[in-house]
């Protein structure tokens, strides 16, 4: 990943965290490492732990940011959610996607579900 893409991603994650704070989510961690990969933002929304995948783009030439959460990425997010659920069984766990494109923020709640 180029340095420019990393900077755009970090900027998007900061924007997403600010957005979530305005919605009264508690930010528990950013860039949280796990056995299955990295969680962009781990937040709490009342009694639910939320794994937030942040996708940031500067334009929509190749689709919207949320389109970048393909099947493979969804499977990784499901594994992350299962791991969080095992570590914190008293909480509900869900996966949200925050797509940032310029000044537009789209929050897709429960964007990825484990269909087992």
pTM of the model: 0.91
Show the tokens assigned to 86: 């095992």
pLDDT at res. 71: 93
Question: Which band of pLDDT confidence, cut at 50, 70 and 90, is reported for residue 60?
Answer: low
Range of the domain at 43: 3-112
Contact 50, 94 (CB under 8 A): yes
Question: Residue 52 forms beta bridges with which residues?
Answer: 41, 96
Confidence of residue 115 (pLDDT cuts 50, 70, 90): low
What dihedral angle (degrees, nearest 10) is formed by the CA atoms of 16, 41, 76, 74? -30
Question: For the chain, what percent of residues have pLDDT higher than 70?
Answer: 95
Res 33 pLDDT > 80:
yes
The structural domain count of the chain equals 1
Q: What is the CATH number of the domain that holds 58?
A: 3.40.1350.10
pLDDT on residue 79:
95
């Amino acid at each position: 990943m180029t340095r420019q893409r990393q900077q755009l991603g970090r900027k998007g994650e900061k924007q997403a965290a600010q957005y979530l704070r305005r919605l009264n989510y508690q930010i528990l961690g950013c860039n949280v490492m796990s056995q299955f990969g990295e969680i962009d933002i781990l937040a709490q929304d009342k009694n639910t732990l939320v794994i937030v995948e942040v996708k940031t783009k500067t334009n929509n030439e190749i689709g919207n940011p949320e389109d970048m959460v393909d099947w493979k990425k969804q499977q990784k997010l499901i594994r992350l959610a299962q791991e969080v659920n095992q570590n914190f069984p008293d909480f509900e766990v869900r996966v949200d996607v925050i797509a940032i494109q310029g000044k537009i923020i789209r929050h897709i709640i429960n964007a990825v579900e484990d269909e087992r």
